[in-house]
């Protein structure tokens, strides 16, 4: 929003100010519910900002997860945009943020029965608000469920996407 001084930094400060008003127990509960909400990208900040706890109470876990997935479809990460462009260049048909066996996949290519997960470093590797153990377990559970359901799964890490080596992995999975 030009002219208003709104930046991602001001958004972070606003989220931190909201979180400062919560007790440690409330923050843990929001993080727990965010993890339960499956693939909520930013459980504490987004849930507190967008009323996620109220949505969770009203619509349940699946309702909140659906809302988060719809938001993510409309607001892909920069890494997801890169992968989508690669898939478009390769002429692949894909679906984004599709629920497969109780989990949301970043990309699903039906022709290849292939799920592509785009793992940004901050979300999948850093201990964000003390949630790292929850995230690691969730990622393991998600990949296990998909492989047991006979999906092929390709995980692309941020570093691979940025240096371009993920494109070769992607081509290898579909060609």
pTM above 0.85, yes or no: no
pLDDT score of 62 more than 50: yes
pLDDT tens for each residue of 151-174: 999 999 989 999 999 999 999 999
pLDDT value of residue 144: 94
Q: Is the dihedral of CA 123, 126, 130, 131 positive or negative?
A: positive
Confidence of residue 104 (pLDDT cuts 50, 70, 90): confident
Side-chain half-sphere exposure of 3, counting CA atoms within 13 A: 0
Give the mean pLDDT of the chain.
77
Strands 114-119 and 152-157: parallel
pLDDT value of residue 14: 64
Residues 49 and 32: their CA atoms lie apart, in Å, by: 16
Residues 43 and 48: their CA atoms lie apart, in Å, by: 8
Identify which has the larger pLDDT, 25 or 124. 25
Burial (CB count <10 Å: 0-12, 13-18, 19+), residue 73: middle
- Please list, residue by residue across 24-48, b when 16 or more beta carbons sit within 10 angstroms of its beta carbon and e when fewer do: eeebeebbebbbebbbbebbbbbbb
């Amino acid at each position: 929003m030009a002219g208003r001084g709104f930046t991602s930094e001001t958004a972070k400060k606003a989220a931190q100010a909201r979180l400062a008003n919560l007790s440690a127990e409330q923050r843990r509960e929001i993080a727990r519910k965010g993890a339960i909400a499956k693939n909520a990208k930013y459980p504490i900040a987004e849930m507190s900002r967008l009323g996620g706890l109220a949505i969770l109470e009203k619509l349940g876990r699946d309702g909140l997860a659906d809302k988060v997935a719809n938001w993510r479809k409309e607001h892909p990460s920069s890494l997801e945009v890169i992968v989508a462009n690669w898939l478009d260049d390769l002429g692949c048909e894909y679906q984004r943020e599709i629920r497969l066996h109780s989990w949301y996949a970043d990309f699903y290519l039906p022709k290849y029965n292939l799920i592509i997960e785009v793992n940004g470093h901050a979300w999948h590797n850093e201990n964000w608000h003390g949630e790292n153990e929850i995230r690691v377990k969730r990622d393991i559970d998600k990949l296990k469920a998909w492989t047991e359901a006979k999906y092929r799964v390709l995980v692309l890490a941020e570093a691979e996407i940025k240096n371009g080596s993920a494109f070769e992995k992607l081509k290898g999975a579909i060609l």
